[in-house]
Amino acid sequence: MAISVDTDKAICTRCGQAYGSWHSNFPVTYSSQYKGVGHLTICKSCVDNIFDTYLSECGDESAAARQTCRKLDLYWNDKVFNQVLQKNSNRTLMAQYIQKTNGNAYLGKCYDDTLREEGTLWSLGADSEPTVSEEVVKFWGPGYTPDMYTQLEQRRDYWNSKLPEDFEMDIGTEAIIRQICSLELDIIRDRAAGRSIEKSVSALNTLLGSANLKPVQKKQEDADAALANTPMGVWLYRYEKKRPLPEIDDDLKDVNKIRRYVFTWLGHVCKMLGIKNAYAKLYEDEVNRLRVEHPEYDGEDDETFLMDIMTDEDEST
């Protein structure tokens, strides 16, 4: 059934929606394919819908965007798309990418120019189909598209790069990483298709826990490492500046004069070295206090001395 076209309105050739004007409803393009109107003949919502459909199939934003460009005869450039991915914007990826390729550097280019730059414009049939090595298929299993194998390999390389350099991969760790990568791909595909991802996310968190890669586990490991590597002097500084000791209670003060005792006998060393200071003075005073002077018995014989000692003992008893 043909759609009746009102020349006063812009109609999307995909969904049939009529708009009051091309401006703001259809992406601007300077491709020769659309030079008659200067816009895509497919509205912005349909362009995003095409992208989301491809993304749900392949799980790779770059591959989905390229396929969208191929379908709409738009110029494709990996570097431009990567620049768009790194920016935060309220607009969709395809809206940002199309605007970026409308710049002077890419003005008037279409998908044929992409193929010319890659040298594959005339590579038709099986030659243009990307090949997947037998080793990759053996690792991931059959049933994936070439783009999905590429995405899985990228995720595999990412997780392997997070392991220590001297880490020896065992069969258990390899199996966990394989499942993590597959689940990540499923989550991307289901989210793009609007399907529930709660079960997949829960399963992914379980696998991350098995591999000891959960954020909470990594934070605890980092905290333990920081605790073990902090010098004692740094801890003392932190406590002195941030949590100083309170004033000592009267019951806990130096009632036994331990401090004076240490300083007094430190004075002995000072006196030995000939150093005259407060410590040496404390030592001399203490020695004088403890010195015992025995009585002298001038002109008396031993018998008198002995009787004197015995008399003292009798009195003491």
Cα-flanking dihedrals φ and ψ of residue 25, to 5°? -105, -25
Contact 19/8 with Cβ under 8 angstroms? no
| Digit-coded pLDDT (tens) for 72-116 | 999 999 899 999 988 888 889 999 999 999 888 888 899 999 988
| Digit-coded pLDDT (tens) for 165-192 | 777 778 888 888 888 888 888 888 888 7
Give the closest residue to 264 by CA, choosing from 286, 240, 242.
286
Give CA–CA dist 169/302, Å, rounded.
96
Is the pTM of the predicted complex or chain greater than 0.75? Answer: no
If DSSP codes are grouped into helix, strand and coil, which group holds residue 10?
strand
* DSSP conformation class of 3: P
Better-predicted residue by pLDDT, 156 or 232 = 156
Contact 89/96 with Cβ under 8 angstroms? yes
Say which range, 19-28, 296-305, 308-317, has the weakest mean pLDDT: 308-317
If DSSP codes are grouped into helix, strand and coil, which group holds residue 28?
strand
Give CA–CA dist 186/158, Å, rounded.
17
Contact 29/40 with Cβ under 8 angstroms? yes
| Digit-coded pLDDT (tens) for 20-61 | 889 889 998 888 888 888 899 999 999 999 999 999 988 889
